[in-house]
Structure 1
Amino acid sequence: MPEGDTVWQSAKRLHAALAGKVLTRSDLRVPKFATADLTGRAVLDVTPRGKHFLTRIEGGLTLHSHLRMDGSWRVFAAGARWTGGPAHQIRAILGNPEHTAVGYRLPVLELLRTADEDRVVGHLGPDLLGPDWDPDQALANLLGDPARPLGEALLDQRNLAGIGNVYKSELCFLLGATPWLPMGALPADRAAKLPAVAKKLLEANRDRPIRSTTGRRGQDLFVYGRAPRPCLRCRTSIRVADQGDGSRERPTYWCPHCQTGPAPAPGSPAARRHPGQAPTPPGKAPVPPDKAQ
């Protein structure tokens, strides 16, 4: 699922291509709104809200979309070849004489009154990249369920909006806690820093083509996607296991030396084994392949 910085970048491109211009092409390829015609109306703005897109259109209308796992919005110059996927995956087309925005594989696409936007985004917590950001409220939301695992709490957009699976793993590493540590067990000083660290990471990456949490060229992430390679800090083999977010299991990465707290045991059903990594006896740390980087 895209992170908040990815959605922010995509919304910025859509806004630059569409805002202030009258639509000359409109095609919503979902049954409920297939007959809706937005041509002749100006796009007022494209605003990201967490991982949601709100494309506001003249006449009090908003086109609400969400990418979830596989969706994308692509912007093309007028007359350019579209390259986002096969035609049958297109769910929305918005065009003006200069640009065409094409939405591929959009699992959420609906047209609603702008006055009713709260119906689709009102449940979200403070937006890490939005004007409503409130670190105190975000922390209070996270601590509202002290028994909930840290990783699950971070992914819950009702607590704070914009964190996906990559930032979940990276934030837990920076906080020195496993994603399975209960929120209430996170030391108070580290909990207090969590909102600021999360905001700093997303703000630092919202204009970058390649996401980085380390500041190291060629080593962009501390743990995410790095199992079973050595930790950049301590050289212990990074581990990976599945963790739920309330809807599905997601691969979750952590360093068993740098991060304290509960975690799935090697060989447990949640743990994952990677190519080149031998089966691990219970109680032993995974051994990375030769020359792992």
Structure 2
Amino acid sequence: MPEGDTVWQTARRLHSALAGRVLTRSDLRVPRFATADLTGRAVLDVTPRGKHLLTRFDGGLTLHSHLRMEGSWRVFATGERWRGGPAHQIRAVLGNEEHTAVGYRLPVLELIRTADEQDVVGHLGPDLLGPDWDPAEAVRRLTADPTRALGEALLDQRNLAGIGNVYKSELAFLAAVTPWLPVGELPSGVPERLVATAHRLLEANKDRPDRRTTTTRQPAHHLHVYGREHRPCLRCGAAIHRAELGERVTYWCPGCQKGPSGESPHTN
């Protein structure tokens, strides 16, 4: 599932290609909105909200999309051949005289009134890349249930909007605790540092082509633990482990991170 920085980059590409221009082509290939025609409407902006995308049009309409695991938006020069998957995977086409945005495999695509945007994103917690970022509120939400596993709390978009599976594993590593540790057992000051680190990392990576949480420039070492099962930890040399947390795969270092593990959840 794309993380908040990836969604932010997608929104920036779409905004650059569509905002301030009138649509000359509109095709929403989902049954509920198949007859909707946005041709002739100007795109006002494309705004990310956590992992959600809000494409706003004049006349008070918003196209709400979510990428989830496999969805993507691709931007092409008008007339250019589309490359993003077979035609049957296309869910949306928005085009103007210069660019065409094509949405592939979008699991969520709905046309709503702009005034009703809160119905689809109002449940989200503070947006790590949003203009209204509120670290104190993020800490309050993250620690509201002291019995909840840290990894689950980090992934809950009602706490912080924008953290996905990669950042979940990386943030737990940087906090030196396992993702299974109950939030209420985090050492003093760690929740605040976790939230600050999450904000810093997403801000740093929103302008990078490749996500990085380490300070090394070696391509193979751009992440501490995620995707590095059986490889040595960059800090202590212990083999990185992998297990399930809920329905999501999780990576951690048994040498650097303290707390319960997915392999033995009752052992500290």
The normalised TM-score by structure 2 is: 0.97
Residue 264 of structure 1: how far off its partner (Å): 2.4
Match of 2:156 in 1: 156
Question: What's the TM-score once normalised by structure 1's chain length?
Answer: 0.89
- Quick one: which amino acid aligns to residue 214 of structure 1? T
2:79 matches 1:76: no
Matches within 5 A, 1:136-147: 136-147=136-147
Other structure's SS at 2:62 match: strand
Post-superposition offset of 1:191: 1.5
In the alignment, the residues of structure 2 paired with residue 223 and residue 128 of structure 1 have an alpha-carbon distance, to the nearest angstrom, of: 22
Equivalent AA in structure 1 for residue 112 of structure 2: L
Q: Following superposition of structure 1 onto structure 2, how do residues 1-293 of structure 1 map, counting pairs within 5 Å?
A: 1-217=1-217, 218=219, 219-244=221-246, 249-265=247-263
Provide Cα deviations, 1:223-272, integer angstroms capped at 9, x if missing partner: 0000110000000000000111xxxx111000001000000237x9xxxx
Q: Is the 8 A contact 2:243 2:263 kept in 1?
A: no
Partners of 2:249 and 2:145 in 1: CA distance: 23
CA contact (8 A) 2:245 2:262 kept: no
C-alpha deviation, 1:194, in angstroms: 1.3
5+ long unaligned stretches in structure 1? 269-282, 284-293
Q: Given that residues 71 and 104 in structure 2 are in contact (C-alpha distance below 8 angstroms), is that contact kept between their aligned partners in structure 1?
A: yes
AA of the residue aligned to 1:227 = E
Summarize deviations over 1:206-235 as a string: whole Å, max 9, x none.
Answer: 010011000212210000000110000000
The letter for the 1-side match of 2:245 is: Q
Partner Cα distance (1:52, 1:207) in 2: 18
Aligned equivalents of 1:33, 1:191: Cα separation in 2: 43
Find the aligned partners of 2:101 and 2:115 in 1 and give their Cα distance: 24
Q: Which letter does structure 1 place at the counterpart of 2:242?
A: V
| Offset from partner CA, 1:28-54 (integer Å, 9 cap, x none) | 000010000000000000000000000
1:16 counterpart SS class: helix
Number of corresponding residues: 264
2-structure distance, mates of 1:191, 1:54:
30
Q: CA deviation at 1:190?
A: 1.3
SS in 2 for 1:93: strand
Deviation at 1:59, TM superposition (A): 0.2
What is the Cα deviation at residue 152 of structure 1? 0.3
Counterpart in the other structure of 1:273: none
Contact kept? 2:20, 2:42, Cα under 8 Å: yes
1:188 shift after superposition: 1.5
- Of the structure 1 ranges 12-21 and 210-219, higher mean CA displacement relative to structure 2 is found in 210-219
Counterpart-to-counterpart distance in 1, 2:101 and 2:209: 20
SS in 1 for 2:100: strand
Structure 2: gaps (5+ residues)? none
CA distance in 2, matches of 1:149, 1:127: 21
Considering only CA atoms, is the larger Rg found in Structure 1 or Structure 2?
A: 1
Is the 8 Å Cα contact of residues 126 and 160 (structure 2) preserved in structure 1? yes
Amino acid across the alignment from 1:235 = G
Q: d(CA) in 2 for partners of 1:265 and 1:56?
A: 46
Distance in 1 of aligned mates of 2:115 and 2:44: 14
Deviating 4+ runs (over 6 angstroms): none
Conserved 8 A contact 2:94-2:100? yes
